[in-house]
Chains A and B, each alone.
Chain A
Amino acid sequence: MRKSFLVVSITASLVLAILLSACGGAAQPVIKIGVNAPLTGDIPKVGEGTKYAAELWLEDIKNAGGLDVGGKKYQVELVIEDNESKAESAVAANTKMITQDEVLVIVGPQASKQAVPAGEVANNYETPMISPWSTNPNTTKDRPWVFRACFLDPFQGPVVANFVTEEFGFTKAGVLYDVASDYPKGLAEFFKKAWEELHGPGSVVAYESFTTKDTDFSAQLTKIKDSGAEFIFTPQYYNEVALIVKQAHQLGWDKPIVGSDSWGSSELIPLCGADCYGLFFSTHYAAAGATGKTKEFIDRYNAKYGYIPDDVAALTWDAFGLVQQAIQNCGKITGDIKADRKCVRDALAQIKAYDGITGKMDFTQGNDPVKCAVIVKIDDKGEFTFYKSVCP
């Protein structure tokens, strides 16, 4: 008796669900955009920046009365999923957004650790995905449906190697990186390759690693100090950078420490303090000294959320701009999600000169944009100031 009741109620609710969804289809389709962000976990600040930039963009669309595609206004909805900064959760979040929420396009995940596996899912389900911040080549490699809004690790490695050689004239490098995380590991390898091409084999005198969640780096730093390295390159995330820099100074290290775009979080200085002043890192944009559209975005973000947006927020903003451009270039939304996804992907791949706040982007040579990198110096007040621009 109870069983049959269950069967009846399930069937009834299924029928109802089908009817309801059919009704929904008849009305003006809503454009759903998925956001896959690390709201909790290791790098929550990155997740926060992603969410804020996305909401700021949505606000613009809402103020305009919807997104204008081929002369018709469409309502836009954001589906924001937390990937807990874990690869498995990012995969689950993408699968859910694609199959259950039926999003048109996905923005995110940010870190390569999540973007590489999540990109696989998006590509398999033929859903366009654009990762604003993931610099690992594998994210978009052989995946026609996956794009990014930033430059690549292989590019950042030589940028840092060239910059240090020109700026300081050093020949001996020490590297400290997390071997269990895709981004630092990839970047450390590309840097090593670039440095050894410049200064010959063996010029990376210390190549030390640790694993995620380690807090004590004294053994590795002692080795680096002992190896005669003239500077340390550490492509780590901001929370580890604070610990590494402090411990290096406590061990009597007084030479430069250079980083990559993962340093560029507004949390770095609160955690690291004066220890980080005077250090350099390569990144996508610098807030101090910005002009035009970039400044406009920074001011709006600062007014709304009370702090200067970091590169994640800026790149996410650009990713949404690209998505908007692609949807508009596509020209029509049919409501057939498969066809619409295909249309958006094709439009995205044809964007030739998108003028974003992190630089001009060209997608016609593949799914990785051609753009420039910025070298940032952390000044005596702890602000990230523009130091130099390095183009490919």
Chain B
Amino acid sequence: MAFFFQNVVNALQWGSFYALIALGYSMVYGVLMLFNFAHGDIFMTGAYIGFFVATMFVGLSATGILVLPNWLILILTILISMFLTSFVGMAVERVAYRPLRGAPRASAAITGLMVGIILETGNLALLGARRQKFPELIVSQTYDFGGVSVTNSKIMIVLVSIGLMIALHQFVRRTKWGMAMRAMAYDFVVVPLMGVSINLIAALTFGLGSALASAAGILFGIAYPVLDPYMGILFGWKAFVAAILGGRGSILGAALAGFLLGFIEIFVATIFPSTLRDLIAYSIILIILTFRPHGFFGEPYSAQLRL
């Protein structure tokens, strides 16, 4: 039994990353009907920005200029990085997507891939190929609940992720900006005629998605403290799968599918030989999509942002 719950804990942590990143894909699709294929690399950029902010604060504390406790550094790192990374997302939208808004969908998908490659190789050129170690902001403590090992960082990661998802939900649901986003998702031809600026809403959507990806990047850095410029590629793909599985454009669906993907990966590796993990995990997802081609919460011929 302990074995089972241990894997549930493992899957919850792993799924939170997929969920946070899948949200960014899903929101952009919901509003602009395009998949931002640079999103995995925005996640990577967010993790690196987090790395720099955290290293800066740790450095300031160490030299005694600005002594802050670690938990405060962590909160500041998450907030500042989310803020900065949202500008990266907005810049990507401005440079790579806005000029192509009338162009065929495939062109926009390809510019996304290119922006991704630019972010990866730009990072490589800037920092070199050496891996960076994310500073240890949380002194890892392992608690043992009847054979189930849970660390304080794991609890924090799952709670922060769920908190961010609720915050996003509230934002889209309860604010005027959120309402504009939902309206735009409903019809991006008519709504701009009512005086809602599509450029503003597109920037907002990219900014929000990127901020979440940045939070995911920092949490990832805490759990797996080795950062490299290509860390976002595979992760981006898998989170994209989660976004599709959740139903394109559905925020709730993306979050749930992210966790589901985490559970499937972990439990397949647990039950079957781990060599077959991705083979079996993604076959399962293929079968799900065969029966529900629009994902859990998606509907045919509609890209409404559902909440």
Give A residues with C-beta under 8 Å from B: 39-41, 44-45, 47, 179, 208-211, 213, 215-216, 218-220, 222-223, 226, 239, 242-243, 246-247, 249-252, 267, 270-271, 273
Contacts and interface: CB of A to CB of B under 8 A. Distances in A.
Interface string B228-253: 10110010000000000000000000
A39 B129 contact: yes
Interface string B261-278: 000011101100111011
B224 A250 contact: no
Contacts of B129: 39-41, 44, 47
B7 A250 contact: no
A54 B10 CA distance: 45
Contact of B124 (A40, A216, A246): A40
Contacts of B265: 219
B226 A220 contact: no
Nearest to A180: B275
Contacts of A40: 124, 129
B224 A222 contact: no
Contact of A243 (B13, B226, B277): B226
Contacts of A270: 133
Interface in B91-136: 124, 128-131, 133, 136
A271 B274 contact: no
Given A219-B274, A222-B10, A271-B133, 11 more contacts: A40-B124, A209-B274, A213-B230, A215-B220, A215-B224, A216-B266, A218-B10, A219-B267, A220-B274, A239-B131, A250-B142
17 contacts: A209-B275, A215-B224, A216-B10, A216-B266, A218-B13, A219-B269, A219-B277, A222-B270, A239-B131, A243-B224, A246-B225, A250-B142, A250-B149, A250-B154, A251-B142, A271-B226, A273-B136
Given A44-B129, A219-B7, A239-B131, A251 B149 contact: yes
Contacts of A41: 129
B71 interface: no
Contacts of B270: 219, 222-223
A234 to B, nearest CB: 13
A252 B225 contact: no
A226 to B, nearest CB: 5
A208 B130 contact: no
B3 interface: yes
Interface of B: 3, 6-7, 10, 13-14, 124, 128-131, 133, 136, 140, 142, 144, 149, 151, 153-154, 220, 223-226, 228, 230-231, 234, 265-267, 269-270, 273-275, 277-278
Nearest to A219: B269
A250 B151 contact: yes
Contacts of A239: 131, 226, 228
Most buried by B among A239, A251, A271: A251
A48 to B, nearest CB: 8
Contact of A222 (B6, B131, B154): B6
Contact of B278 (A211, A215, A222, A273): A211
B7 A222 contact: yes
A216 B226 contact: no
Nearest to A39: B129
Contact of A216 (B14, B140, B278): B14
Contact of A45 (B130, B220, B231): B130
Contacts of A222: 3, 6-7, 10, 270
Contact of A223 (B13, B140, B144, B274): B274
Give the 10 A-B CB pairs with smallest separation, nearest first: A44-B129, A218-B10, A219-B269, A252-B149, A215-B224, A40-B129, A219-B266, A209-B275, A250-B151, A208-B274
Nearest to A47: B129
B40 to A, nearest CB: 12
A21 B269 CA distance: 59
